[in-house]
């Protein structure tokens, strides 16, 4: 078998290393994907820095993978060689745990996560269970599809499950890797979309993305402004800033919900009065299963939603990762394999 190039992390906190490996062979129920593009996500720091105790080293990071099936293992039906596919945070479920048995596969207690507890997409090829595969529409490039398999499905799925209806006021806190997609999805879903960020300089971008209203959190009392507008049915919190999340909660409408998808270390603070007086709530939202990702890609093609990306070749993975971690990317970094 021909070998492949891959970027691995050999130990907790270690550097990215460009190595040559044997091309992996698919087992029962698995396929081998020839990777064409892989997004660089903030969650890749879990592998880089060993933030989960279960990270197996050496590991190939990457869970925003777009490519083509190049080999099929036994027991795989409906996924022929040559099919364009993606693999996201959801890398397969066990089918045995209680969440799986209740149909809540994204909450699987044995969830397989590419680049976190098994090798991912910073490589020319990777293995995936067939139940984690996502069909990529012909009208979507691999480079654009890759970030939609994590950042995209997370924002899209959170918004469509928010309880908001077309015409409702929905706010997106932050315009970055997640937020720039959240604003687009919210506007395309028919919500009266409010973008919230720091600085007047971001207003032009927010409106280009589809926001109807822009709030500058550095100059305005965001909660008061949202209340003046009637209150937000949902606020999608994409920033890892607990204080910023805490400050917008009073701007929720009656029975409004703050949906947290930005991961930060500090606790969110909320008064019982703010929750009880309007029957408001705060909840976290996980990514989505393979079919949720497929819905995201199809909606993106239908509505014209696209990530804003910068591409770099695989061998510059360390540079792409550092640029993402410094919040200098506009807005998602994507590795290409040059195949």
Domain containing 162 — which CATH number? 3.40.50.720
- Into how many domains does the chain fold? 2
Inside any domain, residue 148:
no
| Same domain assignment for residues 196 and 223 | yes
Task: Evaluate whether residue 293 is within a structural domain.
Answer: no
- Does the residue 168 lie in any domain? yes
pLDDT at 215: 98
* 19: in domain: yes
Q: What tokens were used for 303?
A: 């509505």
In the three-class reduction of DSSP (H, G, I as helix; E, B as strand; rest coil), residue 35 is classed as: strand
Two tokens at 297? Answer: 């890609």
Task: Give me the percent of the chain exceeding a pLDDT of 70.
Answer: 99
Domain membership of residue 145 (yes or no) is: no
Residues 312 and 278 reside in one and the same domain? no
Residue 264 has pLDDT above 90, yes or no: no
**How much is the pTM?**
0.97
Strands (E), the chain: 3-9, 16-22, 30-40, 65-72, 84-87, 125-129, 134-135, 169-173, 192-197, 213-216, 232-237, 252-260, 281-284, 309-313, 332-336
Peptide bond into 331 cis (omega under 30): yes
Instruction: Give yes or no: residues 172 and 64 share one domain.
Output: no
Same domain? For 254 and 158 the reply is yes
| Residue 161 falls inside a structural domain | yes
Question: Residue 79, exposed/middle/buried by CB under 10 A (0-12, 13-18, 19+)?
Answer: middle
Give the model confidence (pLDDT) of 31-70 as tens digits.
999 999 999 999 999 999 999 999 999 999 999 999 999 9
Residue 313 CA, chain-centre distance (Å), reads 21
Alpha-carbon Rg for the chain in angstroms: 20
What's the rounded mean pLDDT across residues 200-205? 97
Cα 101 to Cα 104, 107, 108, 147, 289: the distances in Å are: 7, 11, 9, 29, 15
98 lies in the same domain as 171? no
Q: Are residues 204 and 91 in the same domain?
A: no
Q: What's the CATH code of the domain at 122?
A: 3.90.180.10
Residue 229 domain flag:
yes
Q: Mind listing the pLDDT tens digit for each residue in 92-151?
A: 999 999 999 999 999 999 999 999 999 999 999 999 999 999 999 999 999 999 999 999
Mean pLDDT computed over 68-73: 98
Cα(37)–Cα(34) distance, rounded to whole angstroms?
9
Say what the pLDDT of residue 70 is. 98
Instruction: Name which of 329, 338, 336 is nearest 311 in CA terms.
Output: 336
Domain of 179 in residue numbering reads as 154-284
pLDDT value of position 339 = 60
Tell whether 95 and 193 lie within a shared domain: no
**Does residue 255 belong to any structural domain of this protein?**
yes
Residues in the chain: 339
Structural domain ending residue among the three candidates 252, 269, 284: 284
- Are 262 and 324 contained in the same domain? no
Average pLDDT, the chain: 97
């Amino acid at each position: 078998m021909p070998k492949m190039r891959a970027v691995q992390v050999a130990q907790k906190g270690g550097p990215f290393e460009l190595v040559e490996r044997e091309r992996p062979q698919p087992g029962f129920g698995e396929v081998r994907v020839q990777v064409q593009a892989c997004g660089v996500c903030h969650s890749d720091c879990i592998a880089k820095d060993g933030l989960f105790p279960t990270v197996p080293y050496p590991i190939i990071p990457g869970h925003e993978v777009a490519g083509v099936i190049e080999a099929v293992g036994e027991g795989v039906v409906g996924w022929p060689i040559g099919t364009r596919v993606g693999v996201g945070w959801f890398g397969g479920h066990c089918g045995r745990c209680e969440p799986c048995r209740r149909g809540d596969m994204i909450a699987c207690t044995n969830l397989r996560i590419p680049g976190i507890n098994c090798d991912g997409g910073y490589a020319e090829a990777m293995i995936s269970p067939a139940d984690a595969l996502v069909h990529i529409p012909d009208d979507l490039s691999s480079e654009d599809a890759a970030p939609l398999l994590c950042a995209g499905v997370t924002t899209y799925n959170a918004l469509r499950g928010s309880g908001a209806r077309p015409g409702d006021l929905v706010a997106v806190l932050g315009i970055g890797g997640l937020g720039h997609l959240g604003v687009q999805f919210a506007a395309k879903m028919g919500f009266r979309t409010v973008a919230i960020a720091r600085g007047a300089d971001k207003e032009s971008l927010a409106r280009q993305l589809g926001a109807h209203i822009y709030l500058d959190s550095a100059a305005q009392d965001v909660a008061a402004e949202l209340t003046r507008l009637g209150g937000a049915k949902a606020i999608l919190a994409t920033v890892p800033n607990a204080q910023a999340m805490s400050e917008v909660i009073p701007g929720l409408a009656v029975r409004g919900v703050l949906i947290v998808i930005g991961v930060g270390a500090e606790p969110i603070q909320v008064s019982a009065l703010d929750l009880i007086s309007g029957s408001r709530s705060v909840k976290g939202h996980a990514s989505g299963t393979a079919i949720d990702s497929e819905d995201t890609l199809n909606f993106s093609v239908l509505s014209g939603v696209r990530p804003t990306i910068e591409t770099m070749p695989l061998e510059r993975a360390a540079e792409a990762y550092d640029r993402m971690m410094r919040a200098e990317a506009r807005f998602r970094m994507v590795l290409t394999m040059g195949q």
